[in-house]
Amino acid sequence: MSKTLINTFSKKLLTWHAASGRSGLPWQGNRDPYAVWVSEIMLQQTQVATVLERYPRFMKRFPTVKKLAAADIDEVLAEWAGLGYYSRARNLHACAKQVMHDFSGKFPHDPLLLEQLKGIGRSTAGAIAAFAFHERAPILDANVKRILARLFAIEGAVQDKAVNDRLWKLAQDLLPNQPKDMPVYTQALMDFGATWCTARKPVCISADKKCPFAKDCQANLSNQVLALPQKTVKAKSPEFDCDMLLIRSGNFVLLQKRPSKAIWGGLWSLPESPWRPRSEKGHQTAHGSKELLAITLPGENIADLAKSIRGLKSGNRIKHVFTHRRLWMQIWEANASKALAFFSPNLKWVPLAQLGRYGLPQPIKILLQGLSLVRGDDLKN
DNA sequence: AAGTCGGGGGG
DNA sequence: CCCCCAGACTT
Q: Cβ of residue A201 near strand B, that is under 7 Å?
A: yes
- With respect to CATH, is domain A239-380 assigned 3.90.79.10? yes
Q: Is A276 strand, coil or helix?
A: strand
Q: What is the mean pLDDT of residues A185-191?
A: 97
pLDDT higher than threshold 80 for residue A376:
no
Report yes or no: A332 and A313 within 8 Å, Cβ to Cβ. yes
pLDDT higher than threshold 50 for residue A299:
no
Least confident of A67-76, A77-86, A107-116, A326-335: A326-335
Grade residue A209 by pLDDT with cuts at 50, 70 and 90. Answer: confident
Domain ranges of chain A: 3-227, 239-380
Q: Cβ of residue A164 near strand C, that is under 7 Å?
A: no
Whose CA is nearest the C1' atom of nucleotide B11? A200
pLDDT higher than threshold 50 for residue A7:
yes
Q: What is the mean pLDDT of residues A156-185?
A: 97
Report yes or no: A47 and A120 within 8 Å, Cβ to Cβ. no
What rounded mean pLDDT belongs to chain A? 89
Q: Cβ of residue A330 near strand C, that is under 7 Å?
A: no
Q: What is the pLDDT of residues A244-294, one digit of tens each?
A: 999 999 889 999 999 998 999 999 999 988 899 987 654 444 444 444 444
Region for residue A191 given its phi and psi (left: phi exceeds 0; alpha: psi -120 to 50; beta: otherwise): alpha
Note the pLDDT of residue A261: 87
Note the pLDDT of residue A263: 96
Q: Cβ of residue A206 near strand B, that is under 7 Å?
A: no
A246 CA, B1 C1': separation in Å?
Answer: 41
Q: Over pLDDT 70: what percentage of chain A?
A: 87
pLDDT higher than threshold 80 for residue A32:
yes
Which CATH number is associated with domain A3-227?
A: 1.10.340.30
Is A79 known to be catalytic?
Answer: no
Note the pLDDT of residue A379: 52
Among A94, A69, A90, A71, CA closest to A81 = A90
pLDDT higher than threshold 70 for residue A312:
yes
Q: Cα–Cα distances in Å, from A146 out to A50, A149, A152, A197, A347?
A: 22, 5, 10, 8, 46
Residues in chain A: 381
Least confident of A37-51, A111-125, A144-158, A282-296: A282-296
pLDDT higher than threshold 90 for residue A161:
yes
Catalytic-labelled residue, pool A40, A79, A135, A239: A40
Note the pLDDT of residue A293: 40
A227 CA, C3 C1': separation in Å?
Answer: 14
More confident residue, A344 or A13: A13
